[in-house]
Amino acid sequence: MIPSRAVIALGGNAMTAPDGSARPDDQRSALTAAMEHVADLIAGGTEVVITHGNGPQVGNLLVKNELAADVVPPVTLDWCGAQTQATIGFTIADALESALARRGRPRPVSAVVTRTLVDAADPAFDRPAKPVGRYLPRREAERFAALGQDWADFGERGWRRVVPSPQPREILDAPAVRALLAAGVVPVAAGGGGVPVARDGSGTLHGVQAVLDKDRTAALLACALGAEALVIATDVPCAVLDYGTAAARPIGRTTAGELRAHLTGGHFAEGSMGPKVEAAVRFVEAGGRRAVITGLDGVAAGLAGRAGTVVEPDPRP
Written as one string, the DSSP assignment of 134-162 is EEE-HHHHHHHHTTT--EEE-GGG-EEEE
Q: Is the pLDDT of residue 1 over 70?
A: no
Read off the pLDDT of residues 146-202 as tens digits, 9 standing for 90 and up: 888 899 999 999 999 999 999 999 999 999 999 999 999 999 999 999 999 999 999
* Cα three-residue angle 274-280-283, rounded to 5 degrees: 135
Q: Work out the mean pLDDT of the chain and round it to a whole number.
A: 92
Confidence of residue 59 (pLDDT cuts 50, 70, 90): confident
Q: Is the pLDDT of residue 14 over 90?
A: no
Gyration radius of the chain over CA positions: 19
Quote the pLDDT of residue 28. 92
Q: Is residue 303 a contact partner of residue 292, using CB atoms and an 8 Å limit?
A: yes
Mean pLDDT confidence for 234-244: 89
Helix (H, G, I), strand (E, B) or coil at 249: strand
Express as a percent the part of the chain with pLDDT over 70: 99
CA dihedral 299, 301, 305, 308 (to 10 degrees): -60
Q: For the purposes of burial, counting CB atoms within 10 Å of the CB of 202, is it exposed (0-12), middle (13-18) or buried (19 or more)?
A: exposed
Residue 13 among the catalytic residues? yes
Mean pLDDT confidence for 59-63: 88
Going from the C-alpha of 138 to that of each of 127, 132, 272, 306, the distances in angstroms are 20, 16, 26, 49
Q: Is residue 144 a contact partner of residue 66, using CB atoms and an 8 Å limit?
A: yes
Mean pLDDT confidence for 27-38: 93
Q: Global pTM?
A: 0.92
**One of 12, 81, 192, 295 is an active-site residue; which one?**
12
Q: Indicate the residue type of 221.
A: L
Mean pLDDT confidence for 212-227: 97
Residue 191 among the catalytic residues? no
* Cα three-residue angle 277-169-223, rounded to 5 degrees: 60
Quote the pLDDT of residue 270. 78
**One of 55, 60, 191, 214 is an active-site residue; which one?**
214
Q: Is the pLDDT of residue 213 over 70?
A: yes
Quote the pLDDT of residue 180. 98
Q: Report d(CA 230, CA 277) in Å as an integer.
A: 12
Which DSSP symbol is given to 241? E
Mean pLDDT confidence for 254-265: 94
Read off the pLDDT of residues 103-149 as tens digits, 9 standing for 90 and up: 999 999 999 999 999 999 999 999 998 888 888 999 989 988 888 88
Q: Report d(CA 78, CA 203) in Å as an integer.
A: 18
Side-chain-side CA neighbours of 82 within 13 Å: the count stands at 11
Quote the pLDDT of residue 269. 79
Q: What is the DSSP string of 77-131?
A: HHHHHHHHHHHHHHHHHHHHHHHHHHTT----EEEE--EEE--TT-GGGGS--EE
How many residues does the structure list for the chain? 317
Q: Is the pLDDT of residue 22 over 90?
A: no
| Nearest in space to 189 (alpha carbons), one of 10, 50, 90 | 50
**One of 81, 133, 276, 288 is an active-site residue; which one?**
276
Residues whose CB is less than 8 angstroms from the CB of residue 16 and which lie 6 or more positions away in sequence, other chains included: 22, 26, 27, 30, 56
**One of 11, 13, 288, 298 is an active-site residue; which one?**
13
Residue 130 among the catalytic residues? yes
Residue 64 among the catalytic residues? no
Q: Report d(CA 100, CA 229) in Å as an integer.
A: 21
Residues whose CB is less than 8 angstroms from the CB of residue 202 and which lie 6 or more positions away in sequence, other chains included: none
**One of 11, 65, 130, 133 is an active-site residue; which one?**
130
Quote the pLDDT of residue 81. 95
